[in-house]
Amino acid sequence: MTTNLDTRLSAVSPAVISLFRIVFGLLYTIHGAQKLFAWPVGMPDDAGNLVGSAVPVGTWPYWYGGLLEFVLGLLILTGLFTRIAAFIASGEMAFAYFTQHQPKGLLPIQNGGELAVLYCFGFFLLVFIGGGAYALDAVRRKR
């Protein structure tokens, strides 16, 4: 019974990996767009409402982080240079966690760093499994 399920699931794994990559890349692109363009919602104001403006150009580390998130997110979304982009994105999220969240508390639930940890390890997974069947990397490999 399990063997049959494993066989059927293995057959769709490349497509599911692509879906995972696309969703992760889209969310990361939007994460960066919020910082760079205040789109689709603005940055949080002091009360936590998402109505603020974009991060001012050149502000360390937020504007540079937003630029990385936007560009790397697009690369991951399209599946172009997936492993390299995911490696850099994973490192960026580790940096964000240890510099912005971890000083506020030991555990991610205490310091608001759950999203950074999830992104970090999701991208780290993509470094090893690649972008899946429906990625520009797969098209490039066929040439």
Question: Residue 138: how many CA atoms within 13 Å on its side-chain side?
Answer: 14
Domain locations in the chain as residue ranges: 2-142
| Radius of gyration for the alpha carbons in the chain, expressed in angstroms and rounded | 17
Distance CA 86, CA 61 (A): 19
Query: Confidence class of residue 1 from pLDDT cuts 50, 70 and 90?
Result: low
Strand locations in 1-143 (E):
none
Q: Residue 79: name the closest of 41, 24, 3, 131 by CA.
A: 131
More confident: 12 or 50: 12
Sort 75 into a burial class: Cβ within 10 Å, 0-12 / 13-18 / 19+.
buried
Per-residue pLDDT of 101-137, as tens digits, reads 999 999 999 999 999 999 999 999 999 999 999 999 9
What is the pTM (predicted TM-score) of this model? 0.93
With the CA atoms of 72, 64, 118 and 88 taken in that order, what torsion angle do they form, in degrees rounded to the nearest 10? 50
